[in-house]
Amino acid sequence: LPDAGAADRFLSGLLVLVAIVALLGIAQVAICPGPGGTAAALGPLGRKCHRARGFYSIYMTLAGVLSLVLLATAPALLSTAGARPGGWRISAWLVTGAGFALTYVRGAWIGFVAGVGALLAVVNRGRIVVAAGVLILVTVVLLAPGVRHRAESIVDPNDPTARERVLMWRSGLAMARDHPLLGVGPAGVKREYPRYASPEALQQRRGHLHDTPLQILVERGVVGLGAWLAIFAVFFIRAGAILRRLPPDAQRERAIVTGSIAALVGFLVGGLTEYNFGDSEVVMITYVVMAVPFVVGRKASER
């Protein structure tokens, strides 16, 4: 990408593409006969249709991708550089948001909220618009009973999925204590988990721990976790430096950088309840979103 204009067009194109996938996810849920059912009209894409998954094999992947793109493109909706954002862009963002809600992935929802918080912390203007827009989106999607019930379960200590995750994390911490420096090795959780699984756990075998930092700590030890954290620490430091160098009137450039920062916050927070770093489709979008601030930074340094 040669400049900020190209980066902005790329992100806009990415938003349109994921909006199409989100629209498919909405259709999957809308015509699904119920849990365990199949939306026959959609052929193979109608399987496991009770939660939006688009073209992906599982709804968690779709949620991770949509969260990243929603956050990365949100600041552009506020930019007044050049023409106002077209109605098509706002519509695509709202459709993507609706599809994101229908994935019912609570961890990704929490990550999205954290990303919005980061966005509010770094934007210079438009905070009220961001907050109002997100509030309207949340209000609308919560009108769907399934979404509302799923959101309420986030704070339910008796939720069976939450209990299972807590037991899983305890087993992961036990593995980390026994192998602190270098961990149990790549893919070692699948091999070692049965030895550490709690008798209360519903599943005695696991391939991952539904927590990205814990997964890396268990399989790569403190050395690997430190290296992984350093990647994102350097990103935030350098992206923040680029943002500080940009003048207040460079609204398009600032939107690109702030969107990237917000998206990465959402990714990292979402990874506390899901091993999203092990999901190649999500990680691919993450790397792309991490790269765009440096397109802006390259041009800023040439001024």
Cβ-in-10-Å burial (0-12, 13-18, 19+) of 208 comes to buried
pLDDT score recorded for residue 303: 55
The three-state (H, E, C) secondary structure of 42-75, written as one string: HHHHHCCCCCCCCCCCCHHHHHHHHHHHHHHHHH
How far apart are the C-alpha atoms of 15 and 272, rounded to whole Å? 25
User: Chain centroid to CA 265: how far?
Assistant: 9
CA distance 265 to 113: 10
SS3 101: helix
* Within-domain flag for 46: yes
Q: Domain range spanning residue 138?
A: 4-155
Is residue 224 assigned to a domain?
no
* 188, 218 contact by CB (below 8 A): yes
Residue 108 domain-assigned (yes or no) = yes
**Domain-located, residue 32:** yes
For 8-55, how does the pLDDT look when each residue is reduced to its tens digit (9 = 90+)?
Answer: 999 999 999 999 999 999 999 999 887 777 888 888 888 888 899 999
In a domain, 15, yes or no: yes
> Could you tell me the pTM of the whole model?
0.90
The total number of structural domains in the chain stands at: 1
Q: What is the pLDDT of residue 82?
A: 45
Alpha carbons 171 and 164: distance in angstroms, whole number:
11
178 part of a folded domain: no
Which is higher by pLDDT, 251 or 133? Answer: 251
Measured on CA atoms in the order 139, 96, 255, 258, is the torsion positive or negative? positive
- Do 255 and 222 touch, CB atoms closer than 8 A? no
3-class SS of residue 205:
coil
- Band of the pLDDT at 137, cuts 50, 70, 90? low
Examine residue 199 and state whether it is found in any structural domain, yes or no. no
pLDDT digits (tens, 9 = 90+) for 256-296: 999 999 999 999 999 999 999 999 999 999 999 999 999 99
Residue at 37 is within a domain: yes
